[in-house]
Amino acid sequence: MKIIVQKYGGSSLATAEKIKKVAQKIAALRRRRKGTSLVVVVSAMGGTTDKLINLANVVGKSQEGELLSGGRDGRELDNLLSTGERVSSSLLALALNSLGQSAVSLSGGEAGIITDKVYTKAKICSLDTNRIKKELKRGKIVIVAGFQGVSEEGEVTTLGRGASDLSAVALAKALDAERCEIFSDVKGIYTADPSAVDGVRKISQISYDEVLAMAGCGARVMQGRAIELAKKSGIPLSIRSTFVKGKGTIIGSLPTKFAGKFVEAPSVTNVALNEKEAKVSVFRVLDRPGIASRIFAPIARGGINVDMIVQNVSKDGYTDLSFTVSDEDLERTVKITRKIAKEIGAGKVSFDRDIARVSIIGLGMISHPGVAARMFSVLAKNKINIKMITTSEIKICTIIRRKDGKRALKVVHKEFVE
């Protein structure tokens, strides 16, 4: 059976009109490719998930003002959040039916996606494609509600923000699909966010690793876990616009290629800005084996993702530690860190929301020495102070003040790409 998996993001399904347009697009593909089966994964209608989370917090916040979390409130949160994708999947199936194409919508559980029980961040354990295949054999277009699954015990779970991408990749893998296409409101992957920077260039082909690094640096491309799974499974992904025709970007294992003509392609593939992080610092930490794990293990157990860990040079057997977490996790992180700091006899714990991360990413950087120096000097020339730096083979990240973020993005992009 030849199968194409497509995924449509929330902005492409934000209104009834748009849902009808997406249905027309799918129907046209169906007419063109009569022998091919179509599985379509959908996100919730744009903004729905945020609205549901806000609503949940309005009714369910604790008296101390603590927001709902996956631990205590996980089951109810997931039961609630999963409805967003169920709404859009049913509406899209109805729209297709009205065009004379027979379609069926399935929840994640009905589609056979079995997960663990970690509410709001569940992992897919297995995928039973029997139901989907049965529907495809009947000639139906199968619309799957993204972002969700069901635990062995039959409880509804969600897979983390942005995880409709993951649903699509997992289904493409399990169904051995011929193609996996990710549709959204951008025409592909660019050298920077086209809505924030002029003079961006489109990338026609890019490696999994670069897109993973971009996602990790806060570029709004695709969910990181989805890219990881695609890489592990060797599934190429086609990133394209829903409503504007064009080739888009292929994410795969081929070397990175830019659209248009170049004398020499830039060594930097992408410049990313993340304005949704905060920095936590712990002062006067004993410089002894085991201390870092004492600090970071409880934070990890809280389901908090820590990034950019920097430890200062040790002085008199003590050191300072700084790390970044996402804005949303800051309050919880500070609470946990203060508790541990007391236990291990460390000094003050402080935090800083006034940060932004500007990063450059590119496999080509390895063969171009001096890239880091060039980035720092262009920031310096523009009087932008760097608070933290981390580097890896394919990326260089700097933490600067949040108010400098957008300007830094532009000047760094200009330096390396334009």
10 binding ligand ASP? (CB under 6 A): yes
In angstroms, give the least distance from the CB of 222 to ligand ASP.
10
In angstroms, give the least distance from the CB of 70 to Mg ion.
18
What are the residues facing 380 on neighbouring strands? none
Within 175-290, residue ranges assigned H as helices are 208-216, 224-233
User: How far is the C-alpha of 212 from the C-alpha of 169, rounded, in Å?
Assistant: 14
User: How far is the C-alpha of 300 from the C-alpha of 377, rounded, in Å?
Assistant: 35
147 binding ligand ASP? (CB under 6 A): yes
Q: Rule CB under 6 A: which of 34-63 touch ligand ASP?
A: 43-44, 49
In this chain, which stretch among 14-22, 158-166, 347-355, 389-397 interacts with ligand ASP, using CB under 6 A? 158-166
Q: Rule CB under 6 A: which of 379-418 touch ligand ASP?
A: none
User: How far is the C-alpha of 192 from the C-alpha of 237, rounded, in Å?
Assistant: 19
User: How far is the C-alpha of 362 from the C-alpha of 115, rounded, in Å?
Assistant: 34
Q: Rule CB under 6 A: which of 59-88 touch ligand ASP?
A: 84
How many residues sit in the footprint of ligand ASP (CB under 6 A)? 12
Which residue has tokens 């908090």?
304
Q: Which of 201, 205, 269, 276 lies closest to 238, judged by CA?
A: 205
What are the residues facing 271 on neighbouring strands? 360
- Our CB check for ligand ASP shows the closer of 170 and 271 to be 170
In angstroms, give the least distance from the CB of 387 to ligand ASP.
30
HSE-CB for 368 with a 13 A CA cutoff: 19
* Residue 194, token pair as written in the block: 């086209």
In angstroms, give the least distance from the CB of 402 to Mg ion.
24
- Our CB check for ligand ASP shows the closer of 181 and 415 to be 181
User: How far is the C-alpha of 4 from the C-alpha of 141, rounded, in Å?
Assistant: 11
220 binding ligand ASP? (CB under 6 A): no
Q: Rule CB under 5 A: which of 12-51 touch Mg ion?
A: 43
Q: Which of 217, 127, 141 lies closest to 172, judged by CA?
A: 127
Site string for Mg ion, 112-151 (x = CB under 5 A): ----------------------------------------
6 binding ligand ASP? (CB under 6 A): no
* Interface ranges with ligand ASP (CB under 6 A): 10, 43-44, 49, 84, 146-147, 161-165
* Interface ranges with Mg ion (CB under 5 A): 9, 43, 162
